[in-house]
Amino acid sequence: MTLRIHRPNVVVGLPDAVLFDIDNTLYSYEPAHQAGITAVRSKTERLFDITADEFDLAFKKARSDVNGRLGKTASSHSRLLYFQSMLETIGLGSQVLLALDFEQTYWRTFLSHAVLFDDVKELLDDLRIAGIPTAIVTDLTAQIQFRKLVYFGLDRYFDYCVTSEEAGADKPDPAPFRLALQKITPKGSGIWMIGDHPTKDIRGAREHLGAVTLQKLHRGVNVGKEGEAPDCTFTAFADVRHLLTTLQAGVRRVANY
Ligand SMILES: [Mg+2]
């Protein structure tokens, strides 16, 4: 068992709705990203007289330029804009056809290396059976986030989906959280947020929704501290299923495992 309840007085009953992050919460982001970027790097090395280091520097600069210009918006994460800017940085102009090609290569490779964590579907089944509505609250553009959900076979598992493109701002802005709540119209105020990011998911959902926060931990994820400290941490979704079962059975006080 890997679930730890840090604030037992907060985790006292079944939720009225559960919100989920996608990236690095439902699957491990880093291996998928590394595979995607490696595929584009190899392509760039084949096409141009460019070393791996030059590619990495140009990509890093492009990403930082786009992030700096667009701030906390969905398009600040756009791989299409990163690759366009990277090609410009290398001195090749905008190269729109190539930017599109790199974007496709990146996401195709990314998805083929993204592995859904165990028991995500089973947990969503449990929630559906218990009549508890669910929604995705995720940063980035709708096109790729919808593709990820379809790729994982999760498109029919969630009642609603909110992206930062649709909401107009990335988490922890209140906009995506409020939009999710507006779509779900839950029966009560007991909202759970399951995510990996201390600032975006934990602080965001607590500040804007008063949510009970569950942080998914795995390699590379640090537990939030102080105002970003989660109410619960877990490493396996099976343990969230167990927590629900326990709460459903009316057990008010759940000991730490
Ligand atoms: Mg995340």
Spell out the domain ranges in the chain: 4-27+116-248, 30-112
The CATH superfamily of 4-27+116-248 is HAD superfamily/HAD-like (3.40.50.1000)
Give the chain's mean pLDDT: 95
Amino acid code (one letter) for 197: H
151 near 160, Cβ under 8 Å?
no
Q: Where are any strands of DSSP class E within 49-142?
A: 134-138
pLDDT digits (tens, 9 = 90+) for 175-232: 999 999 999 999 999 999 999 999 999 999 999 999 999 999 999 999 999 999 999 9
If you measure from the C-alpha of residue 21 to the centroid of ligand 1, how many angstroms do you get, rounded to a whole number?
Answer: 6
**Cα 9–chain centre separation:** 27
pTM of the entire structure?
0.94
DSSP assigned state of 201? I
196 as an active site residue: the answer is no
173 as an active site residue: the answer is no
CA 148, CA 139: separation in Å to the nearest integer?
13
pLDDT digits (tens, 9 = 90+) for 41-52: 999 999 998 999
CA 102, CA 81: separation in Å to the nearest integer?
11
Q: Which of 23, 139, 170, 231 is catalytic?
A: 23
